Structure formats: C-alpha cells, structure tokens
C-alpha cells in the first residue's frame, strides 16, 4: 500500500501529516511512502530528512496519482478532491459537520474518507485522538503567549524591594487544552481557577492545583465533549465566575461544542469590568470565539484589556504537533488496515464514527 502526504494549503499552516520518524516506522510495517516536496519545511523537516528514512519525494500531481491513501492535516480543498481517483482512501481533519460540500464531492469521486476529528473519545482510541494531541500543545502555548503579553510575572517573588504577588489565571473549559493550561500556569507559579459545564472535570482541575468554580446545575459530558447548555445555566455561570474574571490577570478560554459555533462566555460588558492590564487568550476564535470581542488573527485592546485571537495554535509548535499527528495517523491506519488492507468494518465503533464517505455515499 502506498501512502501519500501532501503539503498543507491553509494559510499559515506549518504542520505536515507525516514525520520522518513515523515514515521509518511505516516502511518497517511494509508500507511505501511518498511525500510532496517541501511539505515538512514549516515543521523543520526538509526533504532529505524524509528521503533518509526511505520516503520518495515527488510533485503533488504524482502523489495524487500514485498513492492508495492520501494523508493531510487540514481538510482537502475541492480542487484537491478533483485530483483524487476512485477507490482512494483519504485521512484528514475533515470537520465533516461544517464541510458538507467537500464531503459531497468526496462521495461523488467514490473516495473513502476518514475524518480524524471524529475519532471517538474512548480508551482504546486515545492513541489515535488527534484533537487531544493537538489541544494539549495548544493549551501549553496559550499560557506562554498570554504571559508574554502580560505586564506582570506569574510567580510569587520575594525581593529586597518588596514582595511580588503571584498572577491570577482563570481558565474556561477543563478539557485537554484547559488541563494543560492549568498545569502550565501552575508550573509558572500562578494562582489558577477554572470552570467548566461538566461537573466531572472538578476533580481533574483540582488534582492539578486549580480551584474549581462550581455552578449549580452543571451537566455531564456527551462523548467526552461538553453539551450545549441553557441560557439560564450560562447566566448562572456568568454570575459565579464574574468575581474571578474581574480579578484575573490572564484568562484562557477553550470552550467548544463539536459542529457548532463556540459559546460566548465573556461579553463586551464583562470585558469592560476587567482590570486594566488583563489578557484574554481566546482558543476558540476559529469557531467564532468565546469572547464577544475576539477577532481571528488579531489582538484587540479595549480599556487596557488585551484580547488575543490567535488561530491554529498547534501550528505554532509545528515540529511537535506534526510528530504527534503522524503518530495518531499511524496508529489509526494500523487499526483500520492491520494486514495492509482496509477492513471497512462498519460494525466496529471507531470505523463507524470516522468513515464519512464510502462507495459513493455520504454516510454522515
């Protein structure tokens, strides 16, 4: 089976779908690998690093014509879909719930497409879970970016000139990104508080040293993700969290609901009551943002509060992000094709959840 990785076409994307180390492992499993030239440069992998592990380097058109399996990080473009051939298998973050036209095209091309973002959050799929591996890095980087914009340090510091009090950090959302943000902020010496609609996350947040802000009527998760909550709950959360929000030096928001616009957790009026010098890092900005004033790709400043809307945080750590993504892909591939041939077992939970188009049909 020939695997082909192509260069990312999304503006600003530095990741690549396969790393040299994973190429080496795939070749040892009997696969052939072909990489579009220049694909890994943003991740500090030059073409020779792939060649040295046994991969072939080719033009994009050759990769599409030769590969049995096409692998990418971001969704394929419709122009790329036009280049596909019947019977090919494709892996990427398809985000199929919001990319219906692309999925229709993949179905019309009779391509079997697997959406890496649809991998279920179950224990046996953890090593394939791309959203978790990438969110882990994003949560870490969000804290560092916020710290860089602050006019204060994180830790308590005793000096001859007096004592510097530790910074206060508030984190909305205790998923993978939020937990890593808590851990990173605590390591840097901040006082950390966190809130989430899922009561089950309280113990996780507290185990990392954060104070969990409890809101009456908190919900359970659905498939490992937060459920959409009522307007009444949102109002209760706002009232419970406002004191911490208005005292925070750094706020990190991570709340996402799969397939929907990100919930607004901080509105314009709340920003107006935050203290001067505070920083908000909105990790949900690509899906509309958790802060009403966030703008993708910009840092907005109002009344002395900076709101950072940095999209695609994993790409800012492209070497590690690509390595983890490639390992996720390899584990997923070996699960779907353990003997070098795809099983397409639609009764199997992971396959059923991730196979979006197959045999000319759009399944989800």
Q: Write the pLDDT tens digit of every residue in 38-90.
A: 999 999 999 999 999 999 999 999 999 999 999 999 999 999 999 999 999 99
Q: What is the dihedral of CA 240, 132, 256, 148, to 10 degrees?
A: 70
Residue 21 annotated among the catalytic residues of the structure: no
Q: What is the mean pLDDT of residues 84-106?
A: 96
**Selected catalytic residue, list 44, 108, 126, 207:** 126
pLDDT for 225 = 52
Annotated active-site residue in 132, 167, 180, 322:
132
Of the candidates 47, 56, 65, 121, the residue annotated as catalytic is 121
pLDDT of residue 217: 67
Quote the tokens at residue 119: 């991998």
> What are the distances in angstroms from CA 301 to CA 38, 153, 283, 292, 293?
37, 20, 17, 13, 9
Residue 237's pLDDT is: 78
Tell me the two tokens of residue 251: 């706020």
Q: Compute the distance between CA of residue 265 and CA of residue 237 in angstroms, rounded to an integer.
A: 9
CATH number of the 2-128+318-362 domain: 3.40.50.720
Give residue 257's pLDDT: 87
Q: Alpha-carbon distance 65 to 261, whole Å?
A: 37
The verdict on domain 150-311 having CATH code 3.40.50.10170 is no
Determine the Cα–Cα distance for residues 100 and 274; give it in Å rounded to an integer.
Answer: 40
- C-alpha 40/C-alpha 46 separation (Å) is 6
- pLDDT category at 4 given cuts 50, 70, 90 is very high
pLDDT confidence tier of residue 136, bands split at 50, 70 and 90: very high
**Taking residues 296-318, what's their average pLDDT?**
97
Q: Is this structure's pTM higher than 0.75?
A: yes
Domain ranges of the chain: 2-128+318-362, 150-311
d(CA 84, CA 79): 9
Residue of 21, 47, 51, 225 marked active site: 225
pLDDT digits (tens, 9 = 90+) for 221-269: 555 555 566 777 778 878 889 999 999 999 999 999 888 899 999 999 9
Tens digits of residue pLDDT in 52-63? 999 999 999 999
For the question of residue 359 being annotated catalytic, the response is no
Question: Is 140 marked active-site?
Answer: no
Q: How far is CA 302 from the centre of its chain?
A: 28
pLDDT in tens, 160-194: 999 999 999 999 999 999 999 999 999 999 999 99
Percent of the chain with pLDDT over 70: 96
Would the CATH topology of 2-128+318-362 be identical to that of 150-311? Answer: yes
| End-to-end Cα separation, the chain, in angstroms | 27
Longest pairwise C-alpha distance within the chain: 73
- For all residues of the chain together, what is the average pLDDT? 95
Res. 293 pLDDT band, cuts 50 70 90: very high
Tell me what pLDDT residue 346 has: 95
**72 near 82, Cβ under 8 Å?**
no
The whole-number pLDDT of residue 215 equals 82
If one compares 215 and 96, the residue with the highest pLDDT of the two is 96
Known active-site residue 129: yes
pLDDT of residue 336: 98
- 260 given a catalytic annotation: no
Mean pLDDT of 18-26: 98
Residue 148 scores a pLDDT above 60: yes
CA distance 262 to 304: 25
Give dist(CA 24, CA 15) in Å, integer: 18
332 within 8 A of 32, measured Cβ to Cβ: no
Annotated active-site residue in 15, 39, 112, 129: 129
Residue 252 phi, psi (nearest 5): -120, 125
Model pLDDT, residue 262: 94
Q: What pLDDT was estimated at residue 235? A: 80
Distance (Å, whole) CA 268 – CA 298: 17
Q: Are 91 and 114 in contact (CB under 8 A)?
A: yes
Residue 80, pLDDT score: 97
Q: How far is CA 83 from CA 105, 187, 357, in A?
A: 11, 48, 16
Closest to 253 measured CA to CA, from 218, 289, 220: 289
Amino acid 231: pLDDT:
76
């Amino acid at each position: 089976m020939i695997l082909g990785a192509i260069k990312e076409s999304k503006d600003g994307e530095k990741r690549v779908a396969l790393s040299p180390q994973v190429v080496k492992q795939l070749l040892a499993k009997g696969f052939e690998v072909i990489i579009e030239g220049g694909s890994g440069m943003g991740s500090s992998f030059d073409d020779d690093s792939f060649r040295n592990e046994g991969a072939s380097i080719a033009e994009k058109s050759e990769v599409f014509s030769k590969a049995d399996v096409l692998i990418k990080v971001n969704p394929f473009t419709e122009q790329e879909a036009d280049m596909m051939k019947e019977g090919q298998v494709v892996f990427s973050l398809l985000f199929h719930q919001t990319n219906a036209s692309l999925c229709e095209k993949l179905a019309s091309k009779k391509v079997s497409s697997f959406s890496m973002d649809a991998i279920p959050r179950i224990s046996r799929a953890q090593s394939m879970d791309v959203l978790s591996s990438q969110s882990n890095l994003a949560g870490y980087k969000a804290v560092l970016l916020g710290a860089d914009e602050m006019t204060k340090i994180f830790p308590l510091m005793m000096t001859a000139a007096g004592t510097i009090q530790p910074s206060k950090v508030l984190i909305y959302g205790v998923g993978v990104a939020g937990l890593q943000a808590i851990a990173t902020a605590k390591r840097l010496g901040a006082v950390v508080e966190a809130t989430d609609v899922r009561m089950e996350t309280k113990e996780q947040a507290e185990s990392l040293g954060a104070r969990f802000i409890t809101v009456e009527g908190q919900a359970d998760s659905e498939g490992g993700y937060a459920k959409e909550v009522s307007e009444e709950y949102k109002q209760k959360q706002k009232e419970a969290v406002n004191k911490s929000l208005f005292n925070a030096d750094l706020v990190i928001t991570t709340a996402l609901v799969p397939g929907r616009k990100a919930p607004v957790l901080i509105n314009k009026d709340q920003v107006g009551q935050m203290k001067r010098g505070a920083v908000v890092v909105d990790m949900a900005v690509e899906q509309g943002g958790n802060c009403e004033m966030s703008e993708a790709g910009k840092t907005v400043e109002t009344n002395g509060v900076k709101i950072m809307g940095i999209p695609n945080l994993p790409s800012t750590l492209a070497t590690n992000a690509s390595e983890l993504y490639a390992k996720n892909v390899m584990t997923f591939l070996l699960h779907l094709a353990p003997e070098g041939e795809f099983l397409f077992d639609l009764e199997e939970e992971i396959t059923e959840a991730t196979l979006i188009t197959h045999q000319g049909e759009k399944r989800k």
